[in-house]
Structure 1
Amino acid sequence: MTPTTTSITHALDLADARHWTRQPPRRPAARLRHLLQTQDATTLAIRRFTRPETLTRWAQGHTANISPIQTRLIEREIYRSWQTAIRHKAHQRILEQHGCVTVQIRARFTYTTPHYEHDDPRLHYLTEELPAPHARALFEARHQDTHDDRLRRILADGIAEAYFFRALPPDQQQAAVTISDLHHVRFHY
């Protein structure tokens, strides 16, 4: 079973893991050695909320003082950067062969029309196949390392078309849907 998350970026990374041709290192020191080969220590330290010297020490195997939170952050970084070429090829193959990008989401939504905005207090549990243009936009934004807010907007538009407005003709789809409270999201493709 794939873990769930409230980060759309991480949820996409977790779904991409099913397409890896080999697994990443498992120990924090080995993961850091790989990350430090592909990224600058200062940049990586800023992303992992620590100092470059600390990362270098951990990569050398001195991981006694590494916290569980830092271990999870390092794991997320591995998932974010592992086998990017394989990830791109898998996304391209999915889109070219009209593959299905399914999203499972538990969230609250806000609806905005030209006349009013409505916060729906209900927690929606949805499993929907994203329309192809939204799946393509989501993959392209992910490849550009776009911020999670932009990915959330793309996902909300896709869910709006796939679920909320599917019975309406395009000229009547005047409302915009926003994810106002995301509890979890999971992708499968």
Structure 2
Amino acid sequence: MADSVGDGLDRALQGAFTRRIPQSAPAQMRYLVKQLGGTKAAAQLLGISQRTVERYVVGRLQRPRQVLRGRLESEVTKRWQPRVRAKARKKAASTDGLVVSTRARFGFTAQPGTSDDARIRDITQALPPAYADRLFTAHEHGATERQLQQITADGLAQMYFRADNTRAHGLDVEFTDVEHIQIEL
């Protein structure tokens, strides 16, 4: 299964966590109930009954089914250490930037009459803070995966293919068929 840029951004921020998320289902459920302000909100978010949430909170239920386990862990991870996540995002967007390591299909269009057929490439490239800011902002505002790929393609075009705009002026890069993407802060 191919990776997505959005998932890569989420994993990069999770790498900044200073503590592990709660491991047991009851601990995760207690955290989620606290974050959402009640068992009713947690039940609606997870698509289960309020009584089931209450049973997890008090420890009467311990092992959720696989689907619920995945949803629960995902929702807790989204909300875990928001200040640490915000600090890491701010640092990447203002001073550090991101490092993108990907295996994907890249194609090019340049001046009229020139082109290069798309082919699979492995690329690892640091992107400046401006692209980190664009990616995180777009991701927060619900951008589609295609939009996130386009921002990443713009950054890779500028920094990798055009060498920070010192060569290959006017080269447009097409970034498709992402097999793997890893983003690091």
TM bin (shorter chain) = 0.7 to 0.9
Name the % identity: 26
1:185: which partner in 2?
A: 181
Structure 1: runs of 5+ lacking an equivalent: 46-50
2:98 to 101, 111, 120: 101
Q: Deviations over 1:67-95 (max 9, x none)?
A: 1x543343333332212222111222334
SS state at 1:52 partner? coil
Q: Distance in 2 between matches of 1:11 and 1:178?
A: 19
1:172: which partner in 2?
A: 169
What is the Cα deviation at residue 105 of structure 1? 0.8
Q: Deviations over 1:21-76 (max 9, x none)?
A: 3221012332233223334336623xxxxx23286267445354511x54334333
2:49 to 50, 53, 70: 53
Q: Distance in 1 between matches of 2:120 and 2:55?
A: 42
What is the Cα deviation at residue 145 of structure 1? 4.5
Q: What is the TM-score of this pair, normalised by structure 1?
A: 0.73
What is the Cα deviation at residue 129 of structure 1? 0.3
What is the Cα deviation at residue 169 of structure 1? 4.7
What is the Cα deviation at residue 155 of structure 1? 1.4
Q: Distance in 2 between matches of 1:87 and 1:186?
A: 17
1:137 to 109, 134, 138: 134
CA distance 1:23–1:183, shift in 2 (3 Å): same
User: Contact 2:97 / 2:126 at 8 angstroms: preserved in 1?
Assistant: yes
CA distance 1:166–1:43, shift in 2 (3 Å): farther
Q: Deviations over 1:149-186 (max 9, x none)?
A: 332221121112122222755883242x3332111111
1:32 to 29, 33, 36: 29
2:82: which partner in 1?
A: 84
Aligned residues: 176
Letter in 2 for 1:77: E
Q: Distance in 2 between matches of 1:169 and 1:12?
A: 28
Q: Distance in 1 between matches of 2:64 and 2:93?
A: 44
Q: What is the TM-score of this pair, normalised by structure 2?
A: 0.74
SS state at 1:22 partner? coil
Alignment partner of 1:159 is 2:156: yes
What is the aligned-residue RMSD (CA, Å)?
3.2
Letter in 2 for 1:41: A
Q: Deviations over 1:130-161 (max 9, x none)?
A: 13321111122234354433322211211121
SS state at 1:44 partner? helix
Alignment partner of 1:66 is 2:62: no
